[in-house]
């Protein structure tokens, strides 16, 4: 099921996010050093050396473990094999590859041990991201090594990486059955991803359920649980929230009154309001190969103010999407959305059309990247109010002013057309998110830590000169999953807007007098921070408190303002 939020797509685990956990798998690898003893008299000494070597391996003393066996004639190559296996356990992949390369095809190794050398070379090469060489090494080990589970696991991982889900899924399933003590829950997790890629939803769910059963409270189990939720047989999603907010600048009012546009006095900025929103979608079609799907989305949001009820707003949305999986780790999507907003008494406020193309790619080890390009058409369904022009009266006095006006504008300024905000916006953006590997010592403090950042460029081509501008935005996120189903979600951004024209709003007004306008183009620097503390109640329900701060630093006083919003919400989601 696809939806419009990169954060949700990431949370649903469209592709691999726990790849670094493969490293922990090698700590459970068996050490296959079948020995052909030179004589019964040496058996006790060799057995003692093997016992001590295994103890050295468990403690990561790879060179010392190998040295214990080199003292026995005919065991030199076996010692190098032990060293290579130990180094893989320790994550020393370049060193392991060096140890194993020295004994490829050695005469003093058995046929099975020759296969083991190639197998573990393939493992080391895989972790060094030398995938073609890893595949060749694993092929060389086939039919020789006795560690079939490891061979199937890494063969499946390579096939999954190459997008060959049809062959990857059976290989990973075989790895999970042959030696679950060594391969699980990793094998079942990636088998689930492979089954997803072949549109075998039932098999994918079975694989993810095995991971949850084996590692329910661990990182693999938690990630599999999210994927299990998203792998419905009839995909859909519904999510929303309802709550109460306090806003200290509902009108986004600057340090001067916006002449001719005032609808309330300056004391009418602060207010409480109830807020609510709901979004949903359902997949209606899927191609036979399971790689393409399409569906529809819909949503509604609204608010009700305690005092400023003239600003109560309702926004209805509806749209459709087309999604295509380009590979096991890459998804492309096109979507369209129509929105219609109205205020109290059913007065039209806004009609909006949005078209967006997106590309999501999850890297093997380095998180997920999102690319976006979009076009937005805005049609505000009201007319701006003109300001009385100066008529050349002696002393700069204004003629009779309209209600709400303080002064009059210079002659020839057409506020009604200049302030027309209708237009088309064009944007491109990139965002990257990364799940930070946490040391074991922090397991009791943090369950997950995700960081991210992005850049967006936009241009808004408005009907009126007041709003035409370029924008550059930088953003950063930090999300922390805590014990007891708590989470902290934060986001910050800086936006620079360069407008093409001066503003038609003055920086100062004198009652009954003509005001002056600056010749400088309008410029704005916006700083935005939001933070939310979320407490999970059930699998589908959570409660949260949130704070948002906005500082819009403008060279025109009408747009120079800040804003604080605090709120409490009850959130729900089903998917």
User: Do residues 196 and 204 touch, judged by C-beta distance below 8 A?
Assistant: yes
CATH architecture entry for 236-574: Beta Barrel (2.40)
User: Do residues 62 and 98 touch, judged by C-beta distance below 8 A?
Assistant: no
- Summarize the confidence of residues 27-53 as an average pLDDT: 49
- Residue bearing the bigger pLDDT, 264 or 209: 209
CATH, domain range 6-182: 1.25.40.10
- Summarize the confidence of residues 423-439 as an average pLDDT: 92
Out of 37-51, 270-284, 293-307, 480-494, least confident range = 37-51
Out of 30-44, 60-74, 493-507, least confident range = 30-44
Give the pLDDT confidence score for residue 216 in this predicted structure.
Answer: 80
CA 224 to chain CA centroid, Å, is 17
- Stated length of the chain: 575
Q: Is the model's pLDDT at 290 over the cut of 80?
A: no
- Residue bearing the bigger pLDDT, 276 or 402: 276
Give the pLDDT confidence score for residue 447 in this predicted structure.
Answer: 82
The highest-confidence range among 75-89, 263-277, 280-294, by mean pLDDT, is: 280-294
> For the whole model, what pTM was predicted?
0.66
User: Do residues 261 and 567 touch, judged by C-beta distance below 8 A?
Assistant: no
SS3 265: coil
Give the pLDDT confidence score for residue 61 in this predicted structure.
Answer: 60
Q: Is the model's pLDDT at 531 over the cut of 50?
A: yes
Q: Is the model's pLDDT at 27 over the cut of 50?
A: no
Q: How far apart are the first and last CA of the chain?
A: 9
- Which tokens hold the place of 277? 């929103």
Give the pLDDT confidence score for residue 300 in this predicted structure.
Answer: 97
Q: Is the model's pLDDT at 476 over the cut of 90?
A: yes
Dihedral-angle region of residue 412 (phi above 0 means left; psi in -120 to 50 means alpha; beta otherwise) = left
DSSP secondary structure string, 179-219? -HHHHTTHHHHHHHHHHHHTT-HHHHHHHHHHHHHHHTTSH
- Residue bearing the bigger pLDDT, 110 or 422: 422
Mean pLDDT of the chain: 82
Give the pLDDT confidence score for residue 368 in this predicted structure.
Answer: 86
- Residue bearing the bigger pLDDT, 95 or 51: 95
Q: Is the model's pLDDT at 260 over the cut of 50?
A: no
- Residue bearing the bigger pLDDT, 294 or 439: 294
The residue extents of the domains of the chain are 6-182, 236-574
Mark 517-541 as b/e (b = at least 16 C-beta within 10 Å).
eeeeebbbebebebebebebeeeee
């Amino acid at each position: 099921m696809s939806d419009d939020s990169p954060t949700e797509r990431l949370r649903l685990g469209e592709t691999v996010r726990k790849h670094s956990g493969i490293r922990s798998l090698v700590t459970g690898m068996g050490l296959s050093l079948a020995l052909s003893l030179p004589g019964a008299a040496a058996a006790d000494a060799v057995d003692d050396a093997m016992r001590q070597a295994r103890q050295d391996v468990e403690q990561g003393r790879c060179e010392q473990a190998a040295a214990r066996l080199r003292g026995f004639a005919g065991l030199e190559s076996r010692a190098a094999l032990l060293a290579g296996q130990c180094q893989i356990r320790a994550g020393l992949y370049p060193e392991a590859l060096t140890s194993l390369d020295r004994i490829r095809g050695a005469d003093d190794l058995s046929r099975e041990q020759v296969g083991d050398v190639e197998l573990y070379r393939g493992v080391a090469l895989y972790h060094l991201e030398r995938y073609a060489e890893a595949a060749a090494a694993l092929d060389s080990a086939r039919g020789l090594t006795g560690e079939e589970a490891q061979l199937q696991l890494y063969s499946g991982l390579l096939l999954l990486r190459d997008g060959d889900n049809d062959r990857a899924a059976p290989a990973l399933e075989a790895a999970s059955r042959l030696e679950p003590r060594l391969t699980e829950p990793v094998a079942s997790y990636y088998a689930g991803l492979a089954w997803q890629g072949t549109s075998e939803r039932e098999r994918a769910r079975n694989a993810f359920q095995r991971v949850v059963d084996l590692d329910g409270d661990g990182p693999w189990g938690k990630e599999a649980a999210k994927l299990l939720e998203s792998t419905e047989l009839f995909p859909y999603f519904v999510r929303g929230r309802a709550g109460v907010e306090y806003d200290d600048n509902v009108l986004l009012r600057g340090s001067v009154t916006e002449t001719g546009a005032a609808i309330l006095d300056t004391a009418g900025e602060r207010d409480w309001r109830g807020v609510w929103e709901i979004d949903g979608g359902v997949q209606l079609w899927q191609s036979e190969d399971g790689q393409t799907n399409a569906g529809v989305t819909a949503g509604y949001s609204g608010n009700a103010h305690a005092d400023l009820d003239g600003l109560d707003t309702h926004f209805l949305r509806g749209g459709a999407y087309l999604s295509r999986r380009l590979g096991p780790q890459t998804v492309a999507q096109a979507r369209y959305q129509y929105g219609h907003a109205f205020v109290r008494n059913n007065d039209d406020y806004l009609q909006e059309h949005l078209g967006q193309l997106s590309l999501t790619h999850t890297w093997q080890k380095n998180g997920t990247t999102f690319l976006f390009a979009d076009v937005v058409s805005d049609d505000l369904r009201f007319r701006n109010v003109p300001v009385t022009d100066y008529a050349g009266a002696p002393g700069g006095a204004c003629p009779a002013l309209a209600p709400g006006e303080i002064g009059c504008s210079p002659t020839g300024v057409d506020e009604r057309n200049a302030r027309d905000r209708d237009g088309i916006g064009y944007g491109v953006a990139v965002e990257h998110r990364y799940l930070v590997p946490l040391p074991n010592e922090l397991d009791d403090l943090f369950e997950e830590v995700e960081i991210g950042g992005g850049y967006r460029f936009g241009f808004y081509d408005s009907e009126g000169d007041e709003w035409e501008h370029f924008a550059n935005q930088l953003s950063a996120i930090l999300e922390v999953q805590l014990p007891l189903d708590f989470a902290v979600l934060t986001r910050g951004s800086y936006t620079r807007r360069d407008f093409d024209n001066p503003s038609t709003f003055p920086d100062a007004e004198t009652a009954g007098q003509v005001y002056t306008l600056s010749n400088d183009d309008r410029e704005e620097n916006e700083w935005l921070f939001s933070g939310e503390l979320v407490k999970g109640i059930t699998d589908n329900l959570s409660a949260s408190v949130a704070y948002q701060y906005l500082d819009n630093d403008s060279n025109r006083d009408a747009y120079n303002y800040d804003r604080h919003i605090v709120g409490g919400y009850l959130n729900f989601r089903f998917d």
